[in-house]
Amino acid sequence: MIELNLTEQEIQAEQASFISKVYAWMSTALLITGLVAWYTANSQVMVEFIFSNVFVFYGLIIGELLLVGVLAGLVKRMSALTATLIFVLYSVLNGLTMSFIFLLYTSESISSTFLVTSLTFGVMSAFGYFTKRDLTSIGNIMYMGLIGIIIASVVNIFFANEMLYWIITYVGVLVFVGLTAYDTQKIKAMNIIGNEGTDEDRKEAIMGALTLYLDFINLFLMLLRLLGNRK
């Protein structure tokens, strides 16, 4: 194996280079999502097109889920360019649906919540990258919590229980904080040492970026429920 011919310092350098690519792709996707969401919220035509027609709104959500499913399930069979285009398209669609936050919350509270999310995410991601502790057990607990959040959220669509809403929110913050650390450690470990610069390396970085992007977005939305000031 190529990895056996590398020194520990070279392995660490390649891991650092890989995680830098992951963060770069994640940051790019977040920027695209933010710009699309801001533009959409400031366009009356776009707002009416998306939010006045339930089929368009849910069609976009279904499209997002399909793109994530295709990228996660078929990434090994597709080219690095195709994986990149799907990831960018997903970030655009997510920006369209997330434009509602600019309609519901003040710009100041969105900015401050984004800052809090960035700091929290950064600390937990750094912990996941540098810790020597195996976070697998914590990750499993967080994923069970995530499943519980999804089920509870669906149930609460019909019951609209305010207490359950806040329980989901607080638990959601804890879950995505934990997942940020666990997923960072998992992404670091999944990097194949020796394939830097290849298509496989780029696809690995895209998949890692998608995972952390989802952690960041969901943590941001949960914190916005707690910290955001509605218009």
Residue 2 CB burial class (10 angstroms; 0-12, 13-18, ≥19): exposed
Q: Let me know: does 229 contact 109? Beta carbons within 8 Å.
A: yes
Q: Which positions of the chain have pLDDT values less than 50? A: 1-4
Domain span at residue 194?
Answer: 2-227
- The whole-angstrom separation of Cα 104 and Cα 229 is 8
The β-bridge partners of 230 are: 105
Given the structure tokens 């936050």, which residue do they identify? 101
For the chain, how many structural domains are there in total? 1
Q: Let me know: does 210 contact 187? Beta carbons within 8 Å.
A: no
Q: Let me know: does 187 contact 208? Beta carbons within 8 Å.
A: yes
Residue 1: the pLDDT is 37
What is the phi/psi pair of residue 230, to 5°?
A: -75, 150
User: pLDDT digits over 6-58, tens only?
Assistant: 677 777 788 888 999 999 999 999 999 999 999 999 999 999 999 988 899 99
Conformation bin of residue 194: beta by default, left when phi > 0, alpha when psi is -120 to 50? left
Residue 8: the pLDDT is 73
Name the residue type at position 231.
K
The CA angle 35-24-58, to the nearest 5 degrees, is 45
Residue 194: the pLDDT is 66
Tokens of 101: 């936050």
Residue 5: the pLDDT is 62
User: pLDDT digits over 150-163, tens only?
Assistant: 999 999 888 889 99
Given the structure tokens 């960041």, which residue do they identify? 216
Residue 4: the pLDDT is 47
**Nearest Cα residue to 49 out of 96, 95, 88:** 96
Tokens of 142: 């967080």
User: DSSP character for 229?
Assistant: P
Residue 3: the pLDDT is 43
